[in-house]
Amino acid sequence: MNIVIVGGGFAGIKTALELGNKQGFEITLISERSNFEYHGALYRSGTGRSPLEVVIPLRDILKRTKNVKFAQDKIVGIDANKKRVVSETGNIYPYDKLVLAMGNVVNYFGLSDMDELSMSLDTIGSTIRLRHKLKDLFRSPAKSVRIAVVGGGSAGVELAGELDHFAQLVAEKYKTPAKKVEAVLIEGSDRVLPSLLPQASKKALTRLQKLGVRVLLNTQLNLCKPGKACLDSGDLEVDLIIWTAGSHAANFYANHPRLFAMERGRVKVDQYLHASGHTDVYVLGDNASTPYSGMAQTALLDAKFIATNLLREQAGKSPFWYRARKPIYAVPIGPNWAIIQTPTKIISGLRGWIVRRRADLAIYRNFEPYKQAIKTYRKGNHLADF
């Protein structure tokens, strides 16, 4: 069975590994990037930690699988009738089964020029650019720096909680007075981390305020101008705007409306994660409109589900139905502190941080042998060269 997987993130790589070295399967993994990026650690790379805990070469991950080929390419077209996808360079990849896990792109919700007037941390490249910008601000002659972080979800909360600490690291390295950092977290709903339980959100808000983060709830960003964030509550003078307020599925899906029906910014799928009406095309991970889509745990679950059903199909067995599983939320807020929400309890503080770091190690173990996973995990304890 010829399987083409598009996407080098959690879902795509895990699907390839689950089918790796299985008889009867020939797999091609296609990704625009040559590396896997662990987005859960991007905020750390943006605030001084080594990017080597974020980036793992795909060829290193796949080298144990003899039946998986890797192609660095960008897929732009699909012919579901002829069962093939086409890249922007004209390469054609025929398939028996197609697995699409193309990840998300930043969603600015139609706000003009936001991509030029703000910075993001959606890839390791944009994250390192952000780190350089922060370093320059923290080394500038100004006595204080005001940074607006737009979006009170996990990425925004994680980043806002580390800004003052990074300013201290910069001051220590360059032997300069530490800047006074005013981090302003802007969230449109009535609480931070709105996907978590209210009591978890309350603990997160208390922690942010203890770290000196100014939190503006029920506040919308309407426009950006150089040096200014225009809010519905009034204009805010800022030195930097960082956008973490949203994302949507890769534009590939919207560019093929006859094949993919969109739902809440993601692709509508059936009980087997098929794109509607196409039993040879699967959509999973962040791209699928399923409960808890957007979580790493969900992407890994989807990958195992798809691989299991493909193996069952090869054996002549009927497929399982998809069952969503409620994830565990683990959100770091400042050094050595995190809030954890499981289906039965909420943990916070240093204990939460320990749980979160163990979860990071578990992520690496999905893709690397144990000893190598430990090495990657430990790289997060080292500072970057900033």
Domain ranges for the chain: 2-32+73-106+247-314, 114-245
In 3-state terms, what secondary structure has residue 269?
A: strand
Confidence band, pLDDT 50/70/90 cuts, at residue 239 = very high
Amino acid at 365: R
Fold of 2-32+73-106+247-314: FAD/NAD(P)-binding domain (3.50.50)
Structural contact between residues 50 and 379, judged by C-beta atoms closer than 8 angstroms: yes
Q: How far apart are the C-alpha atoms of 306 and 197, rounded to whole Å? A: 30
Whether the predicted pLDDT of 337 surpasses 90: yes
In 3-state terms, what secondary structure has residue 149?
A: strand
Mean pLDDT estimate for the chain: 96
How much is the pLDDT for 225? Answer: 85
Mention every residue, 6+ apart, whose C-beta is less than 8 A from residue 16: 5, 27, 29, 62, 65, 68
Count of CB atoms within 10 A of residue 225's CB?
12
Is the domain defined by 114-245 classed in CATH 3.50.50.60?
A: yes
Residue position matching structure tokens 């190598």: 372
Mean pLDDT of 260-266: 91
Confidence band, pLDDT 50/70/90 cuts, at residue 223 = confident
Element (H, E) at 200: helix 198-210
How much is the pLDDT for 153? Answer: 97
Mean pLDDT of 222-237: 90
How much is the pLDDT for 277? Answer: 84
Span 81-102, pLDDT tens digits: 999 999 999 999 999 999 999 9
Span 50-67, pLDDT tens digits: 999 999 999 999 999 999
Collect contacts of 350-358 with beta carbons under 8 A, ≥24 apart: 355/330, 356/330, 356/331, 356/332
Do 114-245 and 2-32+73-106+247-314 have the same topology in CATH? yes
